[in-house]
Amino acid sequence: MSTITSPAQVRIGVGALSLADVVAVARHDARVEISPDALAAMAASRAVVESLAADPEPHYGVSTGFGALATTFIDRDRRAQLQLSLVRSHAAGSGPEVEREVVRALTLLRLSTLLTGRTGARPLVAETYAAMLNAGITPIVHEYGSLGCSGDLAPLSHVALAAIGEGPVRDAEGTPMNARHALAAADIAPLHLEEKEGLALINGTDGMLGQLALALADLDTLVSTADVTAAMSVEALLGSDSPFAADLQALRPHPGIAAAAANMRRVLAGSPIVASHQTPECTRVQDAYSLRCAPQVAGAVRDTLAHARTVADRELAAAVDNPVVTLDGRVESNGSFHGAPVAYVLDFLAIAVADLASMSERRIDRMLDPARNHGLPPFLAHEVGVDSGLMIAQYTAAGVVSEMKRLAAPATVDSIPSSAMQEDHVSMGWHAARKLRTAVDGLSRVLGIELMTASRALALRAPLAPGEATGAAAACIVRAAAPGPDRFVSPDIDDAVAAVRSGGVLAAVETTIGPLS
């Protein structure tokens, strides 16, 4: 869905990845290159772990069991089996297969944490993960299995399982096969895990962070597209652009609102339809909230995105593991694997996205209602009574919005204790991420239906012409937007959704009037 320009190769060092790097590898198959400084940092911290492995005193994650079994000392000749057993037992996912781009994102982010040099894993472990990504090997990960604390345990365990040559994967062509066969075909030796390494591979928030990164990329496109479809609806409904004036927005100085209003002003600039009713004869005093307040809602979404991006950038710079090897050589237990920082913004975004879609749906309904659409035919039908027009397209939008409102209920307020009450508070951040992905998909569908509805309404305003920018947006879906007798509507909706999701609508507008905010 993202229109981000993707690099062909991403270099990972001790420093943070960027959001664009995550999208490039996860979605566009950019190759991964590891910097020598990161491998050196890993080797240094590995030396610390190996010194503790020889210590007769127990050290969590190195010479003990895990979770509620942290007080159980494990003899050295059993520790390789301990790491192997950890990965096998924690690869307990169930349910539908998770999307390829999500699995690639979480694999990349675990690799990034390994390369901070704070996990105590050997450089070989990071090199194996990079090789799997570059070969296009995607472990099969399932919908259920993470509580978001201690990180995304089951999803990350399925990736680790593949690295040791076990469990199902898909190759670069998407063919399912056993991990050992896929590794052999790519000339990658299966890992044999040593002390601490199984734990280092599964104890992180990479699944929820990866999905946040992908959602942010998609929403960058969708939120600007929402400004375009809102402007199209204002034009189609003979609304006014005066509420979007810059001096009015400055009285309430939220940066997101200013940006949304500026976009709508630019999209509506020079519109013959808008100019046609800006006369003394026009008796309308105020437009409905779904028109007049569009920048306030879309702007608040923008500011929510900005906050979420700040959290994501901090997480991309983080070393999330337990225990960690500190800069001064200590190995310390900690709570950084708790998903709350990421989980909260995932929930917050689901609320914002649902509200943006809800306002879009209200504009769709308004354009179809002859009591409120200022002279357009009921449901934009060709022959009223015989044709139903876009009546049921609005039903579809309403159904999507209803589901999005349900998904806006926060996952993070729930917590089910686990691991014999050792893990007595969990974030449910993975579930917040999963419902946000559904919400982002829903927003693209609702905006697609608004695009189709507004484009048809603008066509019905002929001989008045739409503005240059709105006309360019409507031209993306000429067949879907064309008035006429009823036809099979679902393909038209699919075309409009595809134009929104691909970034095609936004690109068409920006080609016409320049980049939007």
Encode the chain (517 residues) as per-residue pLDDT tens digits. 544 456 689 999 888 899 999 999 999 999 999 999 999 999 999 999 988 887 787 777 677 766 666 677 778 778 888 899 999 999 999 999 999 999 999 999 999 999 999 999 999 999 999 999 999 999 999 999 999 887 899 999 999 999 999 999 999 999 999 999 999 999 999 999 999 999 999 999 999 999 999 999 999 999 999 999 999 999 999 999 999 999 999 999 999 999 999 999 999 999 999 998 876 666 666 899 999 999 999 999 999 999 999 999 999 999 999 889 999 988 888 888 898 999 999 999 999 999 999 999 999 999 999 999 999 999 999 999 999 999 999 999 999 999 999 999 999 998 888 877 777 788 889 999 999 999 999 999 999 999 999 999 999 999 999 999 999 999 999 999 999 999 999 999 999 999 999 999 999 999 999 999 9
Q: In which residue are the tokens 């057993």 written? A: 85
Q: Which residues are paired to 34 by β-bridges?
A: 12
Is 377 among the domain residues?
Answer: yes
Q: Which long-range contacts (CB under 8 A, 24 or more apart) does 251-254 make?
A: 254/299, 254/300, 254/303
Q: Domain for residue 369, yes or no? A: yes
Q: Please answer whether residues 156 and 106 qualify as being in contact, where contact means their C-beta atoms are separated by less than 8 angstroms.
A: yes
Q: Can you give the residue range of the structural domain that contains 347?
A: 212-277+285-513
Shared domain for 153 and 223, answered yes or no, is no
Q: How far apart are CA 163 and CA 151, in angstroms?
A: 19
* Per-residue pLDDT, 4: 45
User: CB within 8 A of 379, min separation 6: which ones?
Assistant: 368, 387, 388, 389, 390, 391
What CATH number does residue 177 fall under? 1.10.275.10
Structural domain contains residue 323: yes
395 belongs to the catalytic site:
no
Residue that terminates a domain, selected from 181, 204, 227: 204
Query: How much is the pLDDT for 286?
Result: 87
pLDDT of 67: 64
185 and 218: one domain?
no
Q: Same structural domain for residues 179 and 264? A: no
Do residues 188 and 246 both lie within one domain? no
pLDDT given for residue 5 in this prediction: 54
Is residue 460 in some structural domain?
yes
Residues 187 and 222 in one domain: no
Residues 6+ positions from 190 with CB-CB distance below 8 Å: 163, 164, 165, 179, 180, 183
**CATH number of the domain where residue 303 is located:** 1.20.200.10
* Residue where a domain terminates, one of 177, 204, 231: 204
Instruction: Tell whether 437 is covered by a domain.
Output: yes
Q: Are residues 182 and 111 in the same domain?
A: yes
Query: In a 3-state reduction of DSSP, which class is residue 384?
Result: strand
166/122 same-domain check: yes
Prior bond to 323 cis, omega within 30?
yes
**Domain check: are 503 and 354 in the same one?**
yes
| Same domain flag for 185 and 306 | no
State which of 182, 204, 226 marks the end of a domain. Answer: 204
Model's pTM, two decimal places?
A: 0.94
Domain check: are 225 and 172 in the same one? no
247: left (phi > 0), else alpha (psi -120 to 50), else beta? alpha
| 8 Å CB contact between 395 and 327 | no
Q: Are 154 and 129 contained in the same domain?
A: yes
Residue 3 pLDDT: 45
User: SS3 for 93?
Assistant: coil
Tokens standing for residue 433: 């991420």
Q: Is residue 3 part of a domain?
A: no
Total tally of structural domains belonging to the chain: 2
* 136 and 227 inside one domain: no
Q: Is residue 88 part of a domain?
A: yes
